[in-house]
């Protein structure tokens, strides 16, 4: 009898377990579905939060871009101001004076953005310079980059601006005063390896004047100028953050005259114009030109116009174009990090 009962139990246990599983299954399935739905909702919430953050970031960027574009439009809508011998052109850093007898130069500037003729280099200077810094502009011409430096360093900073050509220096002096740039000191001197007095070749093309002889199609007239070494012109106790050099092939002479400044300022940045035609005219090879800077532990980056993006310089590529501005910094320095930010 007991065996019969046990057998009956075993026969009934299978169906009972099946029923139990059947009854419990919907609960487990429902709970799993609930968990899955909760997880899906959480993921959607998290995804939406990320999407919202991305959207807000894009809106912020668009707002900044729109604001910058409106500023650009507002500045460019301002008319040229006619003075006795020059036009005052409004740019992003203030008013600049352009000679009335240089219509091509005037039209180039009027057609440019508020960043001027070299907006990428201007953007680079803005990244490198901070309020209170000291900048040097050698070959300042009418002062487009002197103005950019002055805005970047602010009233607490200092800008040493060098322009030997009389007419351009006269305009620059007025530009400095007109914009209230008390932090700018203008020197009507050329900068080279040795001090003295030399003949300066004034070009028919603004910005092409040089201590070296010019091509016949550019030659204008000669002007006697005082020449200084940068090491002598800048106070020995002054920290120098940025030096810009635009001297139509005489860059190596400038470097030879600033040995102290280069050695005593580990975070210095030097921006120099590389123009293969200028170098060939004065008998300097590209390798020697770059070597003059690299001998001081400086690494070259070419500044792309108009973006201001900086990439490692490649001599072969630079020799294939008319000119480009190259910025030299010491690898691993804080200056390099700001440059490439």
- pLDDT, tens digit, for every residue of 301-311? 999 999 999 99
Same domain, 143 and 60: no
In the listed set 20, 55, 77, which residue is the last one of a domain according to the structure?
77
Same domain, 46 and 140: no
Q: Which of 45-54, 62-71, 75-84, 120-129 has the lowest mean pLDDT?
A: 62-71
Strands 184-187 and 190-191, sheet pairing? unpaired
Average of per-residue pLDDT values in the chain: 87
> Which one, of 245, 168, 250, 246, lies nearest residue 212 by Cα?
250
* Structural domain count of the chain: 2
Same domain, 304 and 203: yes
Domain holding 27, by residue range, is: 1-77
Nearest-angstrom CA–CA distance, 125 and 242:
8
- By the 8 A CB rule, do 185 and 175 touch? no
> Which one, of 236, 263, 239, lies nearest residue 130 by Cα?
239
- By the 8 A CB rule, do 219 and 201 touch? yes
Mean pLDDT of 259-265: 98
Same domain, 45 and 96: no
Q: What is the pLDDT of residue 12?
A: 46
Same domain, 44 and 188: no
Q: Which of 37-51, 73-87, 289-303 has the lowest mean pLDDT?
A: 37-51
Cβ contacts of residue 284 below 8 Å, gap of 6+?
249, 252
Task: Give this prediction's pTM.
Answer: 0.79
In the listed set 77, 108, 131, which residue is the last one of a domain according to the structure?
77
Same domain, 70 and 172: no
What is the distance of C-alpha 107 from the center of its chain? 24
Higher-pLDDT residue of 193 and 56 is: 193
Same domain, 144 and 64: no
- By the 8 A CB rule, do 119 and 303 touch? no
Same domain, 60 and 103: no
The pLDDT > 70 percentage for the chain reads 79
Nearest-angstrom CA–CA distance, 51 and 59:
12
- By the 8 A CB rule, do 228 and 189 touch? yes
**Confidence tier at 252 by pLDDT (50, 70, 90):** very high
């Amino acid at each position: 009898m007991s065996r019969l009962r046990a057998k009956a139990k075993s026969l009934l246990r299978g169906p009972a377990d099946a029923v139990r599983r059947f009854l419990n299954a919907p609960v487990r399935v429902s709970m799993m579905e609930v968990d899955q739905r909760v997880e899906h909702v959480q993921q959607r919430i998290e995804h939406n939060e990320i999407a919202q953050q991305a959207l807000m970031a894009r809106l912020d960027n668009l707002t900044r871009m729109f604001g910058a574009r409106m500023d650009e439009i507002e500045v460019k809508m301002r008319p040229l101001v006619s003075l006795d011998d020059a036009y005052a052109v409004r740019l992003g850093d203030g008013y600049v004076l352009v000679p009335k007898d240089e219509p091509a130069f005037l039209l180039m500037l009027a057609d440019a953005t508020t960043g001027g003729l070299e907006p990428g280099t201007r953007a680079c200077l803005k990244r490198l310079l901070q309020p209170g810094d000291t900048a040097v502009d050698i070959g300042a011409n009418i002062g487009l980059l002197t103005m950019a430096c002055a805005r970047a360093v602010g009233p607490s900073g200092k800008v040493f601006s060098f322009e030997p050509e009389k007419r351009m220096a006269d305009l620059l002096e007025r530009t400095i005063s007109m914009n209230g740039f008390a932090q700018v000191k203008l020197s009507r001197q050329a900068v080279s390896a040795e001090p003295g007095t030399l003949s300066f070749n004034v070009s028919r093309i603004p910005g092409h004047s040089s201590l070296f002889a010019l091509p016949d199609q550019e030659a204008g007239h000669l002007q006697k100028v005082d020449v200084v070494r940068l090491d002598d012109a800048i106070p020995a106790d002054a920290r120098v953050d940025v030096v810009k050099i635009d001297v139509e092939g005489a860059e190596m002479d400038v470097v030879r005259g600033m040995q102290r400044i280069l050695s005593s300022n580990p975070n210095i940045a030097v921006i120099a114009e590389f123009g293969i035609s200028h170098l060939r005219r004065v008998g300097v090879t590209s390798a020697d030109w770059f070597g003059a800077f690299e001998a001081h532990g400086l690494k070259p980056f070419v500044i792309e116009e108009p973006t201001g993006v900086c990439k490692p310089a490649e001599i072969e590529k630079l020799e294939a174009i008319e000119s480009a501005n190259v910025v030299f910094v010491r690898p691993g320095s804080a200056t390099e990090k700001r440059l490439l930010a």
